[in-house]
Amino acid sequence: MEQAFICVEHLCKDYITPHHHFRALDNIHLSIQQGDVLGIIGQSGAGKSTLIRCLNLLEKPTSGRILIDNEDITQFSGSRLRAFRHQIGMIFQNFALFEQRTILQNVLFPLEIAPTMTKKQAKQRAMELLEWVGLSNKAQHYPSQLSGGQQQRVAIARALANNPKIMLCDEATSALDTLTAHSILNLLKKINNEFGVTIILITHSLSVAAQVCKNIVVLDSGKIVETGSVSQVLTSPQSEVAKSLISIGGYGNAA
C-alpha cells in the first residue's frame, strides 16, 4: 500500500516537571493523505494543540516518528528544521499578527526571513495574496485597524506566502462570529481545492468540522478514540466524546 503523505507512528509526548510527569499524547497513530482536510476534535485538555505542535516540531515528541513525504521530521535540526517549518503554514485562534507591522509587512515577513525572491517579487507576491484574501485595500493598515475576520484573512495570506504543503489551524475560527467563521472556513476550503494544501484543523465544534473537513480524528486524554469520515462520525459516532459533542446542541456552535 502506498505510504500516506503524513504518517504519525507511536507518538508520545510527556511533560515532565520536578513534581509531575504528564503524558499529553499517548501512542498516537495517524495516516493523512495528501489533499485531506482532517479535523481533530476533542474536549479541552485532550491534547489537540500538543499534537498539532508536534507536527511542526514546535513541541519535540518524547518518542515516536512523524513521517512527512517519507522523511522523519523528528530527526530534523538546524537549517533543515528551519527549511521544513517554512513549508508549513499555521494559523491560530488569536491571529498572532505583528501589531507593529502593517498588513503588507505581516504578509511579507515569511518571505523576508527565508528569502527566495527579490524584494520587488516578494512585495508583488504579498500583494497578490492580499488580493486573493480580499484585503489589498488594507495593505497599509495595522492589525488593530482590522476586524477579527479580516485579521484572520491576513494570517491566512501570511501562512500561504511560502506555498506551504500543509496548513495547521488551531481553533482558527473560535474567536469569530458564526458568519465570519463560515467565510474563513470557505477560504480554507478554497485553499484546499485550488492549491491542494493538506489541512489539519483543530476544533471543539463538530459544526466546524462538518463544514470543511473530509475526515475526523477524535482525541480523548491524549489518545485517539475514533477516526472516520465526517459523515461516519456525525451520523454514527462510536466514542463517548463524539457522542457527547453531538448531544450537546446538535453539532456544537459554528465557531
Ligand X SMILES: Nc1ncnc2c1ncn2[C@@H]1O[C@H](COP(=O)(O)OP(=O)(O)OP(=O)(O)O)[C@@H](O)[C@H]1O
Rounded Cα distance between 140 and 142, Å, is 7
Nearer to ligand X, 15 or 98 (CB): 15
Question: By CB under 5 A, which span of 29-37, 47-55, 155-163, 241-249 interacts with Mg ion?
Answer: 47-55
Residue with cell 518518542: 63
List of E strands, the chain: 6-17, 20-32, 37-41, 63-68, 71-72, 88-92, 166-170, 198-203, 215-220, 223-229
Site string for ligand X, 12-31 (x = CB under 6 A): ---x------x-x-------
Exactly one of 49, 151, 180, 198 binds Mg ion (CB under 5 A); which one? Answer: 49
| Number of amino acids touching ligand X (CB under 6 A) | 12
* 162 in contact with Mg ion (CB under 5 A): no
Question: By CB under 6 A, which span of 38-46, 160-168, 178-186, 227-235 interacts with ligand X?
Answer: 38-46
* 156 in contact with ligand X (CB under 6 A): no
**Grid cell digits, residue 36:** 485531506
Rounded Cα distance between 130 and 104, Å, is 8
Tally of CB atoms within 10 A around 82: 12
* 164 in contact with ligand X (CB under 6 A): no
Residues comprising the chain, all counted: 255
Answer with the entry of ligand X, Mg ion, none that 15 interacts with (C-beta below 5 to 8 A by kind): ligand X
* 138 in contact with ligand X (CB under 6 A): no
Nearer to ligand X, 94 or 186 (CB): 94
Give least dist CB 125 to ligand X, A.
Answer: 32
Does residue 81 contact residue 74 with C-beta atoms inside 8 Å?
no
* 192 in contact with Mg ion (CB under 5 A): no
List Cβ neighbours of 83 (8 Å cut-off, separation of 6 or more): 114
Residues 168-227 binding ligand X (CB under 6 A) are 204
Nearer to Mg ion, 5 or 92 (CB): 92
CA dihedral 132, 171, 7, 242 (to 10 degrees): -130
Question: By CB under 6 A, which span of 1-9, 46-54, 121-129, 181-189 interacts with ligand X?
Answer: 46-54
Nearer to ligand X, 41 or 104 (CB): 41
Half-sphere exposure of 153 (CA within 13 A, CB side): 26
**Grid cell digits, residue 1:** 500500500
* 48 in contact with ligand X (CB under 6 A): yes
Distance of CA 73 to the CA centre of its chain: 17
Question: By CB under 6 A, which span of 39-47, 95-103, 127-135, 187-195 interacts with ligand X?
Answer: 39-47
Does residue 46 contact residue 226 with C-beta atoms inside 8 Å?
no
| Binding region for ligand X (CB under 6 A) | 15, 22, 24, 42, 44-50, 204
| Binding region for Mg ion (CB under 5 A) | 49
